[in-house]
């Protein structure tokens, strides 16, 4: 490559590949594999959900009947008011002015980081974590300080977090429920994180996109709602997760008015706004009867059980989880002596795309025994995937 040909990109991007989600979805498309990697409900599956169907019809109506032009940058008034009412009914009061609608939760996270992190600021992240946090912090000029969660329960380790805080620490990013493991923080852990935020004057970016996807009676508790957090928390939410429509890329950031305004300044120079038809539909959907949401949740619960039961019958050990669209196979406990990345390759060859958890772990000594699978798929897809994973396991020489 001559000097003239060499791309002069930012070194951060020049050194990275595509995300593990994109990588695995591309492999699934290329190989015709079942995709249990990236987290989304299959089209057929979402299409069977009356909630998703009704929302699609609302979007189609809005596309024909409503404005086709730029909505206000922070979001349509009707959606900001709808989200404020939605959250006020479930926790501390939210004002419409505290809502910034974004093009997906990942944009909301980016806007929050750009708005809050100055060069040299340290931001506490936990591992494992969603892959966007650390690169966004670094691109904002911040330093990602990564504190591993403590297995086996993936607990927030107060001593380790405390030790990681310096006078330069500005913020922490807390994902609860946690992607990729599907665990939820305890009331004690959230109280401890809030205490650290108030004692050290930190802002918390609370990625709570999975708040509505909890099982086995686990209630959602928000770090943003803990004592002392008003005015120092930005809560991130997602219509993709709420309605099972990930491709819509409608998300939001919720905060006190002053913080929300700051996030809005960053958002106005990222995407500026979000397609109006989708915003109208989400605003309408927030007011749909609770039965539609319950039916969707029941469907997720059935699919989760079907995948867990199928995997167990096939001899896999499934790690404990309480939330998200994901379950993790514990490879080591299943008698598979391969790393997650090696088994993921093996599984692709057998026709199933998955996510190796180590790909979402930036700290040293990543766990290499966990493979994440998404279960929001039709029964036949889950059943076929289990058969194929079972065949892949046979090929490793593992017993059972
Ligand atoms: N949140 C999705 C997941 O964990 C991925 C989103 C993306 O691909 N950017 O599967």
Q: Are residues 275 and 171 in the same domain?
A: yes
For residue 139, give the nearest of 156, 125, 119 by alpha carbon.
Answer: 119
Residue 60, in any domain of the structure:
no
CATH at 373: 3.90.1150.10
Q: Specify the ligand 1 atom closest to the Cα of 130.
A: 4
Pick the residue whose CA is nearest to atom 2 on ligand 1. Answer: 39
Q: Are residues 113 and 257 in the same domain?
A: yes
Q: Give the three-state DSSP class for 259.
A: helix
pTM for the complete prediction? 0.96
**Residue 373 confidence (pLDDT):** 98
* Largest distance between two CA atoms of the chain: 63
Place of tokens 């997602």: 238
Instruction: Work out the number of other CB atoms within 10 angstroms of the CB of residue 305.
Output: 12
Residue after which a domain boundary falls, among 237, 252, 285: 285
Q: Give the three-state DSSP class for 183.
A: coil
CA of 21 to the centre of ligand 1 (A): 6
| Residue 303: domain span | 3-49+291-394
Q: Is the CB of 39 under 6 A from ligand 1?
A: yes
Q: Is the CB of 74 under 6 A from ligand 1?
A: no
For residue 368, give the nearest of 394, 328, 331, 327 by alpha carbon.
Answer: 331
Residue 380, in any domain of the structure:
yes
Residue 59, in any domain of the structure:
no
Q: What is the DSSP string of 25-81?
A: HHHHHHHT-EE-SS----HHHHHT-HHHHHHHHHHHHHHHHS--SPPPTT--HHHHH
Q: Is the CB of 104 under 6 A from ligand 1?
A: no
Residue 108, in any domain of the structure:
yes
Bond preceding residue 308 cis, omega within 30 of 0: no
Residue after which a domain boundary falls, among 238, 259, 285: 285
Q: Which of 130, 374, 377 to mutate to test the pocket of ligand 1 (most atoms within 8 A of CB)?
A: 130
Q: Are residues 106 and 208 in the same domain?
A: yes
Enter the DSSP assignment of 104: S
Q: Is the CB of 21 under 6 A from ligand 1?
A: yes
Each residue's pLDDT expressed in tens, for the chain with a length of 400 residues: 566 666 788 999 999 999 999 999 999 999 999 999 999 999 878 556 899 999 999 999 999 999 999 999 999 999 999 999 999 999 999 999 999 999 999 999 999 999 999 999 999 999 999 999 999 999 999 999 999 999 989 999 999 999 999 999 999 999 999 999 999 999 999 999 999 999 999 999 999 999 999 999 999 999 999 999 999 999 999 999 999 999 999 999 999 999 999 999 999 999 999 999 999 999 999 999 999 999 999 999 999 999 999 999 999 999 999 999 999 999 999 999 999 999 999 999 999 999 999 999 999 999 999 999 999 999 999 999 999 999 999 877 675 5
Is residue 376 a contact partner of residue 42, using CB atoms and an 8 Å limit?
A: yes
- What is the C-alpha to C-alpha distance for residues 80 and 210, in angstroms, rounded to an integer? 20
Q: Which of 17, 28, 37, 39 to mutate to test the pocket of ligand 1 (most atoms within 8 A of CB)?
A: 39
CA of 162 to the centre of ligand 1 (A): 30
Q: Are residues 235 and 333 in the same domain?
A: no
Q: Is the CB of 361 under 6 A from ligand 1?
A: no
- What does the block give as tokens for 279? 């915003």
CA of 132 to the centre of ligand 1 (A): 9
Q: Give the three-state DSSP class for 190.
A: helix
Residue after which a domain boundary falls, among 230, 251, 285: 285
CA of 38 to the centre of ligand 1 (A): 5
CA of 279 to the centre of ligand 1 (A): 21
Q: Are residues 190 and 299 in the same domain?
A: no
Pick the residue whose CA is nearest to atom 9 on ligand 1. Answer: 21
Q: Specify the ligand 1 atom closest to the Cα of 22.
A: 8
Is residue 213 a contact partner of residue 198, using CB atoms and an 8 Å limit?
A: no
Q: Are residues 156 and 268 in the same domain?
A: yes
Cα distance from N-terminal residue to C-terminal residue, the chain: 52
Enter the DSSP assignment of 148: E
Pick the residue whose CA is nearest to atom 3 on ligand 1. Answer: 39
Q: Are residues 263 and 314 in the same domain?
A: no
Q: Are residues 215 and 113 in the same domain?
A: yes
Residue 56, in any domain of the structure:
no
Q: Are residues 279 and 318 in the same domain?
A: no
CATH at 225: 3.40.640.10
Q: Which of 17, 38, 249 to mutate to test the pocket of ligand 1 (most atoms within 8 A of CB)?
A: 38
- Residue 171 zone, left/alpha/beta (φ > 0; ψ -120 to 50; rest): beta
CA of 25 to the centre of ligand 1 (A): 10
Residue 70, in any domain of the structure:
yes
Residue 58, in any domain of the structure:
no
CA of 379 to the centre of ligand 1 (A): 22
List Cα–Cα distances, 65 to 51, 54, 75, 138, in angstroms: 21, 16, 18, 43
Enter the DSSP assignment of 202: -
- Count of domains for the chain: 2
Q: Are residues 338 and 389 in the same domain?
A: yes
Place of tokens 């809502």: 99
Pick the residue whose CA is nearest to atom 8 on ligand 1. Answer: 21
Q: Are residues 103 and 176 in the same domain?
A: yes
Residue 344, in any domain of the structure:
yes
Is residue 392 a contact partner of residue 349, using CB atoms and an 8 Å limit?
A: yes
Q: Are residues 37 and 156 in the same domain?
A: no
């Amino acid at each position: 490559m001559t000097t003239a040909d060499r791309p002069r990109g930012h070194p951060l991007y020049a050194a990275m590949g595509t995300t593990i989600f994109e990588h695995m979805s591309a492999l699934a498309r290329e190989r015709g594999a079942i995709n249990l990697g990236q987290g989304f409900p299959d089209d057929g599956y979402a299409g069977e959900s009356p909630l998703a169907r009704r929302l699609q019809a609302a979007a189609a109506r809005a596309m024909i009947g409503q404005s086709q032009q730029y909505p206000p940058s922070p979001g349509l008034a009707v959606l900001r008011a709808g989200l404020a009412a939605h959250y006020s009914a479930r926790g501390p009061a939210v004002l419409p002015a505290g809502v910034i609608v974004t093009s997906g939760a990942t944009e909301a996270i980016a806007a929050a980081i750009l708005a809050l992190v100055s060069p040299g600021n340290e931001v506490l992240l936990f591992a494992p974590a969603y892959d966007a946090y650390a690169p966004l912090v670094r691109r904002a000029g911040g330093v990602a300080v990564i504190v591993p969660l403590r297995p086996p329960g993936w607990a927030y380790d107060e001593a380790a977090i405390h030790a990681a805080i310096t006078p330069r620490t500005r913020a922490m990013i807390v994902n609860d429920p946690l992607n990729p493991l599907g665990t939820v923080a305890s009331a004690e852990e959230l109280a401890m994180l809030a205490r650290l935020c108030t004692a050290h004057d930190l802002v918390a970016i609370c990625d709570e996109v999975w708040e509505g996807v909890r099982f086995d009676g686990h209630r959602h508790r928000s770090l943003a709602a803990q004592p002392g957090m008003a005015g120092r928390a930005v809560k991130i939410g997602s219509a993709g997760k709420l309605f099972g429509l990930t491709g819509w890329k409608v998300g939001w950031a919720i905060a006190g008015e002053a913080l929300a305004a700051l996030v809005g300044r960053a958002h106005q120079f990222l995407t500026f706004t979000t397609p109006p038809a989708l915003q109208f539909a989400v605003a309408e959907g927030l007011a749909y009867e609770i039965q539609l949401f319950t039916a969707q949740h029941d469907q997720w619960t059935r699919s989760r059980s079907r995948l867990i039961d199928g995997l167990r019958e096939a001899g896999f050990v499934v790690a404990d989880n309480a939330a998200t669209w994901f379950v993790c196979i514990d490879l080591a406990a299943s008698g598979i002596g391969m790393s997650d990345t090696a088994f993921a390759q093996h599984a692709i060859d057998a026709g199933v795309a998955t996510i190796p958890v180590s790909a979402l772990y930036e700290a040293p000594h990543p766990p290499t025994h966990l493979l994440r699978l998404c279960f929001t798929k039709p029964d036949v897809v889950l059943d076929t995937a289990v058969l194929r994973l079972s065949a892949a396991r046979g090929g490793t020489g593992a017993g059972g």
